[in-house]
Each structure stands twice: as structure tokens, then as C-alpha cells.
């Protein structure tokens, strides 16, 4: 099917990136939209990827779009409701009451991607986006819309001390009745400083849409994340091939520049591996030595390895069989997680 180019306008990233605004159902704050961004491969292809960003984030990683294009994939990304391009003046940034609400824009985006002639579609989620897509895939309601799932440091667990972790269920309970109460998100601004080019990093992006210090979060948001993560403690079955990527190490030493540029400074990678290992289905779990929380923002040689792993796992001959085709590769190349 020929893509409907009339609904797209040039994106803020230019360079072949286009965007399309998707109207969504209203919530307690009023109207919502999501934004579908795309960059089509110069090759004639029926393969595509849909990328979902994390918390305090939006799509800006042009290099990632080019990588997928160069490997024969049409590239799509979503700015979820209340994030980035989709944020509206009457809204609370990043806020949500139920992670399942995001399924609306993901499903619409996947229908559009299919309608534009893409027969094989991979989902690719980072951090909170990885948690959302895991729940989306776990539901089994959308199996006809995608063929594989890639997770980049998924937000499977709050990275807090045992004492603070014990407080989260209480905060989630209070959030059911007082969802608009705000608390600190508990994240340091040092991670943002380690990646933005104005400070100690390589990357240029909109600091209004992705500030170094995330805004306070509502207890309704804490409850939404907690309830989503609780689902992963049950029996998880994902019927599509699954690739989980994460850094080999985490750090809380934000003053050590070497660690900040070679470790996950947001999540505990052991939590990611532990929960990912509980998933039943065809899966590969790979630790990336030297990787940041967002692996595609790591140092050049590290992210080159990340892309090599992804495109080794998504062979051009067919997404469906990729996990079985290269299982021996990962056995011999993956670092020991234990």
C-alpha cells in the first residue's frame, strides 16, 4: 500500500523525518494527542520498527533512525501523550493513571504502519517505554500487529534502597485516592548532564522536553508504574521473539565521570536481568559492557556494538525466526550476568 503522505508534515528534526499528530481520547485533564514520527528507508522494504521513548524523554535520536533505515527498515517513533511534541499547555508533563492507556496510541500507530505497507514490524522500547511495551505484548491482544520486541534498559523495578522500596506500595495506595499529590521523582540531574552536549555529553536535544532534573511526579503516576511492574511478578508469557538489552553495570557514584559514561545511572541492571529471566517465551538477554542507561546514547564504539547485536537479532530474512537462528551467537558472545 502506498503511504499516505498527506497526513505528515516535516518534523522538527528535518533530514527526512516527518510527523503526524494522532488525536486520542480525553482524560481528566482534557484532550490528548500523540505524535507519530517516521523516516522511510531509501530501500524498497516491507519491514519497520516502532520506537517508544522513556520517562522524561521524547524521540530525538536521529542516528538510531538512520541505522534502521540503512539496514532496510522504515523507522517510526512515538512521542506519547504529554511528552515532547505531544505535550499540550493544559497538561501535566509525563503524567498517566494507567499504563494501559498508552495502548491506544501504540495500537493506532501500528495500524498506520501496517497500512503503509509494512508486513514485518518490530517494537523497540526504552526504559518506561520498555515497561509499557512489555505489558502491551503480554496482553496478547495485539499479536497480529507486531512480530518482535526489543527492550533497551526496561523500567522493570524502581531503583531504590530497601527502605524506599517498602514505601512505594504505600505511595501507590495513597495515589489511588489522591492522584494529584506531587513528590520528587528521585532522579539525579547528573545523568542528563552526562549526555547533553551543553554539559559533559555528546547529544543535543530540547532541555524543555527532556530536562536534566525531571519535574515532580504525581502519586497517580507512581501508582501507574507500580501497578504495571506488579504485573511482571506474575506468570509472564510473550508469544513474540524478545530481546532485552541492558548495561553490564549500574552506578550510583554520580561524581565519577568514567562510571557515568560507562554504566546505567538510572536503573539496577540486576533487576532488569532478574525480571527478564522470568519471561516465558523465545528470549535473549544481553548485557552491554560500557553501556549507558539509554544504550543508543553510549560512546560510539559501544553503541556500534548495540546496533550490531540488534541487527544480528533481526535478520533481513525474517523477524519471526530470528531468536532460534542466532541463539548460539548469544551463548558465545553474551557476558556472564551472574
Is 218 part of a structural domain of the chain?
A: no
Question: Which residue range forms the structural domain that includes residue 88?
Answer: 5-160+237-333
Is 148 part of a structural domain of the chain?
A: yes
**Beta bridge mates, 47:** 120
Residue 64: predicted pLDDT: 98
Q: Are 193 and 212 in contact (CB under 8 A)?
A: yes
Is 118 part of a structural domain of the chain?
A: yes
Residue 264: predicted pLDDT: 98
Residue 322: predicted pLDDT: 37
Residue 162: predicted pLDDT: 82
Is 34 part of a structural domain of the chain?
A: yes
> What's the pLDDT tens digit per position in 211-266?
999 999 999 999 999 999 999 999 899 999 999 999 999 999 999 999 999 999 99
Residue 68: predicted pLDDT: 98
Single out the residue of 271, 314, 262, 319 nearest to residue 292, CA to CA: 262
Please tell me the distance from the alpha carbon of residue 224 to that of residue 219, in angstroms, as a whole number.
9
Residue 120: predicted pLDDT: 96
CATH number at residue 16: 3.40.50.1820
In this prediction, the residues of the chain whose per-residue pLDDT falls under 50 are: 1-2, 316-318, 320-338
Number of structural domains the chain divides into: 1
Is 211 part of a structural domain of the chain?
A: no
Residue labelled with grid coordinates 501500528: 110
Amino acid at each position: 500500500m502506498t503511504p499516505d503522505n498527506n497526513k505528515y508534515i516535516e518534523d522538527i528534526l528535518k533530514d527526512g523525518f516527518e510527523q503526524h499528530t494522532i488525536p486520542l481520547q480525553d482524560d481528566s485533564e482534557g484532550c490528548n494527542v500523540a505524535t507519530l514520527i517516521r523516516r522511510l528507508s531509501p530501500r524498497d522494504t516491507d519491514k519497520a520498527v516502532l520506537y517508544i521513548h522513556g520517562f522524561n524523554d521524547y524521540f530525538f535520536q536521529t542516528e538510531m533512525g538512520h541505522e534502521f533505515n540503512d539496514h532496510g527498515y522504515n523507522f517510526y517513533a512515538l512521542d506519547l501523550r504529554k511528552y515532547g511534541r505531544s505535550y499540550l499547555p493544559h497538561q501535566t508533563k509525563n503524567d498517566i493513571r494507567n499504563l494501559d492507556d498508552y495502548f491506544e496510541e501504540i495500537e493506532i500507530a501500528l495500524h498506520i504502519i501496517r497500512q503503509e505497507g509494512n508486513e514485518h514490524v518490530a517494537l523497540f522500547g526504552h526504559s518506561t517505554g520498555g515497561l509499557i511495551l512489555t505489558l502491551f505484548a503480554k496482553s496478547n491482544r495485539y499479536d497480529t500487529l507486531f512480530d518482535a520486541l526489543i527492550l533497551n534498559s526496561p523500567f522493570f523495578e524502581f531503583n531504590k534502597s530497601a527502605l524506599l522500596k517498602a514505601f512505594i506500595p504505600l505511595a501507590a495506595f495513597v495515589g489511588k485516592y489522591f492522584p494529584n499529590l506531587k513528590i520528587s521523582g528521585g532522579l539525579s540531574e547528573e545523568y542528563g548532564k552526562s549526555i547533553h552536549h551543553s554539559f559533559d555529553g555528546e547529544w543535543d536535544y530540547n532541555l524543555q522536553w527532556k530536562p536534566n532534573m525531571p519535574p515532580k511526579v504525581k502519586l497517580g503516576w507512581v501508582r501507574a508504574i507500580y501497578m504495571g511492574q506488579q504485573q511482571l511478578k506474575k506468570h509472564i508469557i510473550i508469544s513474540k521473539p524478545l530481546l532485552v538489552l541492558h548495561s553490564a553495570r549500574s552506578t550510583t557514584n554520580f561524581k565519577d565521570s568514567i562510571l557515568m559514561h560507562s554504566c546505567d545511572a538510572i536503573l539496577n541492571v540486576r533487576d532488569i536481568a532478574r525480571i527478564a529471566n522470568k519471561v516465558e517465551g523465545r528470549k535473549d538477554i544481553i548485557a552491554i559492557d560500557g553501556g549507558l542507561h539509554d544504550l543508543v546514547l553510549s560512546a560510539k564504539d559501544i553503541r556500534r556494538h548495540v546496533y550490531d547485536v540488534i541487527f544480528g537479532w533481526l535478520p533481513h530474512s525474517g523477524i519471526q525466526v530470528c531468536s532460534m537462528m542466532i541463539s548460539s551467537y548469544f551463548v558465545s558472545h553474551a557476558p556472564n550476568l551472574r
